[in-house]
Chain A
Amino acid sequence: MSSPKSAKSPKATTSAKAGKAVVKSAAAPRSKAADGEVFAGEDKVNFVKAIWEGVPSKEAKTSGGSKSRVEETKKGKSGKDKPKADKAKADKAKADKAKVGKAKSGKSGSDAAPKVEILRKMSAPVRVEARQTPESDAALALVATLEAKFDAGELDVLTPEATQALVGVICRIYGANQESGNKYSLLSGRAAISGTDAMITCSALLKAVDLQVFELGMWQSWSGI
């Protein structure tokens, strides 16, 4: 039995206890059967798992049940104990999947039954092969030259007139392609610009065509772009 004083003053606990309290409070929404004994002296991996999966109840520990992120997400955030029938059904499904895994593994060479469960497959982003034109090649060569000179500190590598002409034609080409359904990102992954560069350029573009930011916002909400 703890004294009433210690029970009423959580600030008086040691740092280790404070850490444990944090774990319990973070895990509480996922598992209401949290017990205070689980985290004493455990490593970071278990800490992270506990944050994520919730502290397992004693019942779950004995049955070896461990819920995944995906399963929890699919089942919603009810957090209530499942009926035994559901649990049995889940165990059966798990066993079936294990069988499939075993059949797939074939010549793995391992005596233990495979326990691999594929959760998600994520494909690489599809890259559309665009038609190469001589103008594109020339533009890329020009960009390489400009970047090299700019990186060397030559800020006036382009005259204002040349910059205006380039930005103007790029705006027209990009806008026309977007409107005709040929949608692509304005900047590729390799052409890194800072947020400040983007904001300066966007502000200058809006100013050049006498548009206010609220008009851009209205147009975006109407057009859905």
Chain B
Amino acid sequence: MAEQFVGKASEFKDGDRQIVRIGEQEIGIFKHEGEFYAYSNFCLHQGGPACEGLTIARVEERLRPDKTSMGLHFTNDMNFVCPWHGYEYDMKTGEHVSNRKLKLRKYEIVQKGNDVYVVA
């Protein structure tokens, strides 16, 4: 495992993404709320480009005490969605939102000054 330079931090705006190939691995690097996250770009479902789809806030259905619905609401947590079949992953953990046992491989990000490295 070595640190691989992937870009300058100043080149990433909040919400930007970059897909890189390091050896045989494809990695999606996200900048979200000032933090960097890096995940394998191979969807756990059928190997689609998991990190290249829509980024969307998580939808929750709020319930009243009697369990009747108060409707669907977006939360402040952001997810990204595989464009092939809609597998949705948590931006901060890489976990599949409806089955937390499924998790994209997460890569460590090291920031040295303005340089961003992925440990892969």
Interface residues of A (CB under 8 A from B): 44-45, 48-49, 51-52, 66, 68-69, 101, 104-110, 112, 114-125, 150-151, 153, 189-190, 192-194, 197
A-contact bits for B88-106, CB 8 A (1 contact / 0 none)? 0000000000000000010
Tell me if A48 and B42 are in contact (CB < 8 A): yes
The A-contacting residues of B in range 56-82, CB under 8 angstroms, are: 56-57, 59, 62, 64, 70-74
CB nearest neighbor in B for A48: B47
Q: Given A68-B21, A108-B117, A189-B74, answer yes or no on A51-B16 (Cβ-Cβ < 8 Å).
A: no
Question: Given the complex of chains A and B, what is the CA–CA distance between A53 and B57 in angstroms?
Answer: 31
Tell me if A119 and B3 are in contact (CB < 8 A): no
Question: Given the complex of chains A and B, what is the CA–CA distance between A124 and B49 in angstroms?
Answer: 17
Tell me if A66 and B24 are in contact (CB < 8 A): yes
Chain A proximity of B51: nearest CB distance (Å): 9
Interface residues of B (CB under 8 A from A): 2-7, 13-24, 26, 42-44, 46-49, 52, 56-57, 59, 62, 64, 70-74, 105, 115, 117-118
* Cβ–Cβ < 8 Å partners of B14 in chain A: 124
Q: Which of B15, B21, B48 has the most CB of A within 10 A?
A: B21
Q: Given A115-B22, A118-B20, A192-B73, answer yes or no on A108-B15 (Cβ-Cβ < 8 Å).
A: no
Total A-B residue pairs with C-beta atoms closer than 8 Å?
Answer: 105
Question: Given the complex of chains A and B, what is the CA–CA distance between A101 and B4 in angstroms?
Answer: 9
Tell me if B17 and A151 are in contact (CB < 8 A): no
* Cβ–Cβ < 8 Å partners of B15 in chain A: 123-125
List 17 additional A-B contacts (Cβ < 8 Å) besides A49-B24, A105-B5: A45-B105, A49-B42, A49-B47, A51-B46, A114-B4, A118-B19, A119-B26, A121-B16, A122-B17, A122-B18, A123-B13, A124-B14, A151-B70, A151-B71, A192-B59, A192-B71, A193-B71
Chain B proximity of A194: nearest CB distance (Å): 6
Chain A proximity of B71: nearest CB distance (Å): 7
* Cβ–Cβ < 8 Å partners of A151 in chain B: 62, 70-71
Q: Given A105-B5, A110-B3, answer yes or no on A192-B74 (Cβ-Cβ < 8 Å).
A: yes
* Cβ–Cβ < 8 Å partners of B59 in chain A: 192
| 5 interchain pairs, CB-CB under 8 A | A44-B44, A104-B5, A107-B115, A108-B5, A189-B56
Chain B proximity of A103: nearest CB distance (Å): 10
CB nearest neighbor in A for B76: A190
Question: Given the complex of chains A and B, what is the CA–CA distance between A117 and B56 in angstroms?
Answer: 27
Chain B proximity of A21: nearest CB distance (Å): 17
Q: Given A48-B42, A115-B23, A124-B13, answer yes or no on A190-B74 (Cβ-Cβ < 8 Å).
A: yes
* Cβ–Cβ < 8 Å partners of A120 in chain B: 18-19, 52
* Cβ–Cβ < 8 Å partners of A118 in chain B: 6-7, 18-20
Question: Given the complex of chains A and B, what is the CA–CA distance between A67 and B5 in angstroms?
Answer: 22
Query: Which of B18, B26, B115 is within 8 Å of A121, CB to CB?
Result: B18
